[in-house]
Amino acid sequence: MMLDAKIPAGKLAEKWDNYKEHAKLVNPANRKKLDIIVVGTGLAGASCAASLAEQGYSVKSFCFQDTARRAHSVAAQGGVNAAKNYKNDGDNVYRMFYDTIKGGDFRSREANVYRLAECSAELIDQAVAQGVPFAREYGGYLNNRSFGGVQVSRTFYARGQTGQQLLLGAYQALMRQESLGKVKTYTRHEMLELVVIDGKAKGIITRDLVSGQIERHAANAVVLATGGYGKVYYLSTLAMGCNSSAIWRAHKKGAFMSGVSWIQFHPTCLPQSGEHQSKLTLMSESLRNDGRIWVPKKPGDERVPKDIPEEERDYYLERRYPAFGNLSPRDISSRAAKERIDAGCGVGPMKNAVCLDFSKAIKEQGKDKIKEKYSNLFSMYEKINGINAYEQPMLISPAAHFTMGGLWVDYQLMTTIPGLFALGEANFADHGANRLGANSLLQACVDGYFIAPYTIPNYLADEIKADKITTDHPAFAAAENEVKAQLEQFLKIGGHLSADHYHKMLGKLLYDKCGLSRSKKSLEEAIEEIKQLRASFYKDLKITGDDKVNSELEKAGRVADYLELGELMCYDALTREESCGAHFREEYQTADGEAVRNDKDFCFVSAWEWKGKDITQELHKEPLVFENVELTVRSYK
């Protein structure tokens, strides 16, 4: 199958305008006759649902949380990028485009990335109008700061709650539409199946997580804005409920998955402290503006970090990457930390952490200044660890965080199933093999506020003539039966191991064999082990409780999907015989441990097609064409 990204003609800077000028429209009188389902109420989902309802479409919005405001967008602390050039420091759309495409190690589409940068400025306008309380300078103008991987100051922020505040803006816009009767929100509902009729997405099957009721919902288009799947590693920065089920079940219905193994490990997270742990809390990357990262020079140093004298400390980021230092991009910083930890220089009780040290910044700027910038992060650190980071270095470690991979989408954010769109982290589109800090909130918002409101109507314009599908269609009954059969199966297995047990086993396996670094050997082993784990899951799983409110039953479905997705991640990593961005294959590195990309053979986006249970999936390739940037070795030295 030939993948057509449908990139508009014209010069890079004119493509999006060309698209908008020629996109088809739907007559305002017809819009309310068209139903759109939006799954997920994070920044991408809430902004898309609200924007489409504002245009007059009938929107149904779904989330598994108890209210639409809880989605994991809330956890993004540091900021959102926009090429406003308010600092007069040489920023512009092209530079932002270039930083992002280089940050992604030249594995994303030029046209998509340019559009992301192009729409960034408008997002700040939108958020401010909604009442998002961004940081201000004393003159009343918007303030911003620097983030990893760039040399300008383009990150807008609302203290350490940028994601929360942006989401509240989108959530409030959604609630406004609900009050006007244009959106109906279904909270505590989980999508468990996509309904495809005559090759087009026509609805979903959901489970009401309170009554246990399996429900059918029909629509003219379905939008998945269900976030990333970093929780596949069990220990991650993600919320406990984050899952891959919506996109994975769409994948099994024919939507291709791309860049599946491109998962970002965030360098500044709290290290694991024991087997009981459920979560690795993220500490904002903004801390790296003032914190210096180091480990003891001597492996196995048993001293408390603050007792180790200056000359015995190795500031390895400043040493290896003098140009960017502590603000080197995430993939590079995480890998450098792993390299030192593996060399035996890790600190902390489990020797699995590095130091993030503020002593120099406190000496130079004073404790009050540091407090003003980061007090919420320092107090969070103290709440979790009981340690005062003003007096001794924080201990940090890389953790699974963001999935650059996701459903393959074309320029219109439409998957390989017509009528099925994927927005935000759920798609693969803009970040290539590594995402820059503060680009995640941006992409989610741009997809939802500015792109989908053009591309979905363009699709719907032809749907107005199509026959109206109702939930009486046999495809709905078939999908519903599949869902019911699976739930019954989980409840019946009657083994002795919990869903969490399998999730933890899978997570550990993936951390070791398909994590920050991978090799042919480790990946082949992982594939075999995942197959065994999956077989055991269907034999030894134990789910207690009934078919109503049952968090164990919810987890079982998600883990079942992870056990298939995890295997595909390994295949994706195995077939990509190069190192790029977050994907570091041990066989492809320089003598001093830097990634070696192979543009000759691997300058493409992988797109996997589901071929059936226990059958190897088929790899399709979308070649990446670069007309505006030169592919260079990504150096931050």
Identity of the residue, 260 or 377, whose beta carbon is nearer to other proteins in the bound complex: 377
What's the closest the beta carbon of residue 522 comes to other proteins, in angstroms?
Answer: 29
Binding-site size, other proteins (CB under 8 A) = 81
What's the closest the beta carbon of residue 217 comes to other proteins, in angstroms?
Answer: 20
Amino acid of residue 2: M
Identity of the residue, 272 or 439, whose beta carbon is nearer to other proteins in the bound complex: 272
Identity of the residue, 33 or 176, whose beta carbon is nearer to other proteins in the bound complex: 176
Based on the shown chain and the rule CB under 8 A, indicate whether residue 176 belongs to the binding site for other proteins.
yes
Contact 267, 302 (CB under 8 A): no
Q: What gap in Å lies between CA 56 and CA 541, rounded to an integer?
A: 46
For the chain, percent helix, then strand, then coil, each to nearest 5? 40, 15, 40
Contact 38, 50 (CB under 8 A): no
Per DSSP, 353 falls in state: B
Q: Which stretch binds other proteins (CB under 8 A): 223-231, 393-401, 527-535, 546-554?
A: 546-554
- Residue 569 backbone dihedrals phi, psi, to 5 degrees: -55, -45
Show the CA angle centred on residue 255, arms to residues 249 and 257, nearest 5°. 90
Identity of the residue, 435 or 555, whose beta carbon is nearer to other proteins in the bound complex: 555
Identity of the residue, 274 or 612, whose beta carbon is nearer to other proteins in the bound complex: 274
Based on the shown chain and the rule CB under 8 A, indicate whether residue 54 belongs to the binding site for other proteins.
yes
Between 473 and 512, how does the x/- string for binding to other proteins read (CB under 8 A)?
Answer: -----------------------x-x-x------------
Residues 82-141 that bind other proteins (CB under 8 A): 84, 86, 122, 124-131, 133-141
Tokens of 82: 């926009």
Interacting residues of 90 by C-beta distance below 8 A, sequence separation 6+: 152
Residues 421-480 that bind other proteins (CB under 8 A): 449-450, 453
Identity of the residue, 481 or 551, whose beta carbon is nearer to other proteins in the bound complex: 551
Identity of the residue, 76 or 293, whose beta carbon is nearer to other proteins in the bound complex: 76
Count of alpha carbons within 13 angstroms of residue 6, beta-carbon side: 12
Three-class DSSP category at 403? strand
Judged by CB under 8 A, which of 461, 549, 596, 629 binds other proteins?
A: 549
Show the CA angle centred on residue 300, arms to residues 350 and 339, nearest 5°. 75
Based on the shown chain and the rule CB under 8 A, indicate whether residue 67 belongs to the binding site for other proteins.
yes
Match 């690795």 to its residue by tokens. Answer: 280
What's the closest the beta carbon of residue 457 comes to other proteins, in angstroms?
Answer: 13
Strands 257-258 and 155-156: unpaired
Residues 591-630 that bind other proteins (CB under 8 A): none
Judged by CB under 8 A, which of 299, 344, 545, 593 binds other proteins?
A: 545
Tokens of 104: 């992604």
Judged by CB under 8 A, which of 72, 189, 503, 585 binds other proteins?
A: 72
Contact 426, 247 (CB under 8 A): yes
Direct distance between the N- and C-terminal alpha carbons of the chain, in angstroms, rounded to an integer? 41
Identity of the residue, 240 or 343, whose beta carbon is nearer to other proteins in the bound complex: 240
Judged by CB under 8 A, which of 18, 27, 151, 278 binds other proteins?
A: 278
Between 181 and 210, how does the x/- string for binding to other proteins read (CB under 8 A)?
Answer: ----x-x----------------------x
Q: What gap in Å lies between CA 277 and CA 269, rounded to an integer?
A: 13
Based on the shown chain and the rule CB under 8 A, indicate whether residue 175 belongs to the binding site for other proteins.
yes
Based on the shown chain and the rule CB under 8 A, indicate whether residue 378 belongs to the binding site for other proteins.
no
Q: Which stretch binds other proteins (CB under 8 A): 50-58, 306-314, 317-325, 521-529?
A: 50-58
Residue 330 bears catalytic tag: yes
Of the candidates 70, 330, 340, 585, the residue annotated as catalytic is 330
Partners of 606 in the beta sheet? 621
Q: What gap in Å lies between CA 376 and CA 381, rounded to an integer?
A: 9
Per DSSP, 436 falls in state: P
Based on the shown chain and the rule CB under 8 A, indicate whether residue 386 belongs to the binding site for other proteins.
yes
Question: Which residues are catalytic, by number?
Answer: 330
